[in-house]
Each structure stands twice: as structure tokens, then as C-alpha cells.
Structure 1
Amino acid sequence: MSETNDTYSALQVEAIDGSEVVSVTGMARFTTVKTFKRMLATKIRCDPSNLRLMAFGRPMEDASTLGDCGIEEDTIITRIVTGSSTPSDNSSAFKEPKVRPAPTAQTTNTPSDHPSQLREKYSGPQLKTLFIKNLDGKSLTVHDIPLQMPVCEFVVYFAHEKGLDSEGIRLLFGGKELNEKSEHMLMDYGIMNGSELRLVYRLKGGL
């Protein structure tokens, strides 16, 4: 970064599934996230309003500056496209993976599919590896989890994979419990590839 004008030589923005990294030049610490998203959107050919950016596991708010977000020259920024991207005239151009919209209100909180089939319902970007650490410090791993999988389905899938009772476990991330009845997606909690969740067991009586 130049000491005279506080500009970045280039910033690296990685797709949530790690499939593509795009470089954006000409940005400065005082550049707002909103402006940065506009520049990035022209490169990946999508609507800026459909872009979500994250750094250090936290969302980057439009009104903040890159400096406010703690962005440095070597920071890897993660991008998520939450809607339709603008079609490219160049068929060879990179196409950003699309994230399926969140489940509608008609979706039930209790998954009707067999746990082993829950992943197969979704296409698009995946979280290659998630780590789940229990109270004993042992780390469990799950792989290729769809980014748009609702929390209620992930809890059931994880429990089935590890031979646990989904009704008897709680998962936490960033100090917050993932509500197993919630239809929010994993990305709504800021969970990214390589994130570490905590596993705790419910006490008898449901506490």
C-alpha cells in the first residue's frame, strides 16, 4: 500500500466456494464498501445489490470504508452472490455461483427428507470443510455442505453423519446458538469454509 495516498495495489476477492479469486485495483482505505462493491460487480458482471462481502468472518456494511473494516493489502475478502447475475456476452467469462433464495414460509422446520439426502437437494456453492469441536476438545469435520442449507437441516444432517441425536445437541458459532428450528441459512450466521463451530449436549429436560 502506498504511504502517500493510502491506496491498495490490489485487493483479492474470493468466491465463497473458493472457485475464483478476482483482483480489484485503485481502491483506498477511505473507499466505501458500497463503491468497492460497484467496482467488483463490473468485473464479475452482477448487480451490486446482490453482492454480500465478508472479511474476518464479519459482513462488510455498505456505509463503512475499507479501512473501517480492517482491510489490508493481504486480506482475503469473501464474496457471496445472493441473486441473479447479469448475463455476459462472452460465454467464456467467469459466472459467479448463485445462492438459492432462503426457504419460503411454507417450508416446514422439520426436514421430511432422509438425513443422508439433505445435501442432494441443493446446487451451487458449498462449504468444503466445517469443523465442529466438542467440550472435550475433539474436532469433528463435515464436508461439502451447501451454503444455502437451512440451519434446521444442517443440524439433522450433522447428527446423522456422526451418529448423534439431533434433539440432544446444540451448535454454536461466534458465541451464538444456531437455532435448530430456524430456516435461516448457514451464511446468515457468517459461517464460511473452514469455520469452527462448537458442539454442546443438551441437559436432560431440554436445557
Structure 2
Amino acid sequence: MNEKSALEAQESFDFLYVEEATAEGGESRRINFRTSQTVEALKRVIAAELRVQHDWSKLDLVSAGRELTELGKTLESYGIFDGDTVFYARDTTTTARPPAYSPPTTTGVRTLDNVMFKDLHGKTLTLHGIPVTWTVKQMRYKLGIEKHLSDQVEDYRFIYNGKQLVDENNLELYQLTEGCTIQIVLRLPGGIVR
């Protein structure tokens, strides 16, 4: 095959421009791709270009303001033709990992379905499904995440039956009961002045 016929063969391919959608404006690339192929095939080609073949499913594609979500549909069915630009974005969400407060997978562990927390202003917050095998710290993190207090929860002290709950101790040590109320007090900054 001579050079001229190779060039003609290449130009007979449909081509697209692909560009990463970034705040700075991504670099546009021309790729040989038939618009009669599927969205999945395009994702795989782009992933190969980016050298992240195993992450092809984490690419989001958009053209003319429409997200290309159906993997089995052709680009033509989305109205994309030779020379059009398709934008891609890398899905940066991390894989779902269980949070720090996740219960152990052991079965038969007693759980408290209603644990109430009352602050000095009289506001009551309720947590559900807390295993008694958890530490106070795990319960603290769950309270912070579920009630959107993550930035404040480290400054809270928990008091139950007149005792301060210690982060490293299991909840069963404090003999918490169903429907119990734990008082929340704010830890004051500072220390001993000598």
C-alpha cells in the first residue's frame, strides 16, 4: 500500500474531535471514529488515548449539551456526525468505601435503634441502628456525618448517666439502653495554666 492510498483510506474514516471538559479549556484531539459505532466504543477509544483503558466506564461524554448515557446507542442516533466535537469528563468520585462508622459484619450483635443526643440548647438529635460493639468514636463520626456536624463533632463531649464517654471505649461498657439520651456538651479549648 503506497502512502497516497494509506492517506485516502484514513480520510475515508469518520472522525471526531474529542476535548476534555475542564475549567481551563481542554486540548482538542482528532480521532478516527465512525459515528455508526456506539457510545461505549467511543469511551473505550478515548480511554485508550488517555492510557486508562481499565477506567473507560468512568468517562462521561457530552455533545451539543446532551449527555451520552446509553452505551449501546450509536453516535449517529444522538445526532453526532463526522467532524463534530464530543466533550469528555473524567469521573473523579472515588469508589465507595464504607465510612469509619460502618458496623462490623458480624451477625447477632445487639443494636440500639434510637439513641438521642441533647445539646445545651435543648435540641435533640436521634441516631438509629448503632451496634453496642462500636466505640464512642465510631458513634461520634456517625453523628457528624448523618447530622452534618462533621466540623463540630470533635469538640463535643458526650455525657451519659453522669459519666463522660471516652472515644476508645465500646458502647456496651456504658450500658446504653434503647431510647437513651446522651447529653452533648462543648469541649472548651485550653489547658492547665502553671
Range into which the TM-score falls when normalised by the shorter chain = 0.3 to 0.5
| Structure number, greater radius of gyration | 2
Tell me the TM-score normalised to structure 1 length. Answer: 0.40
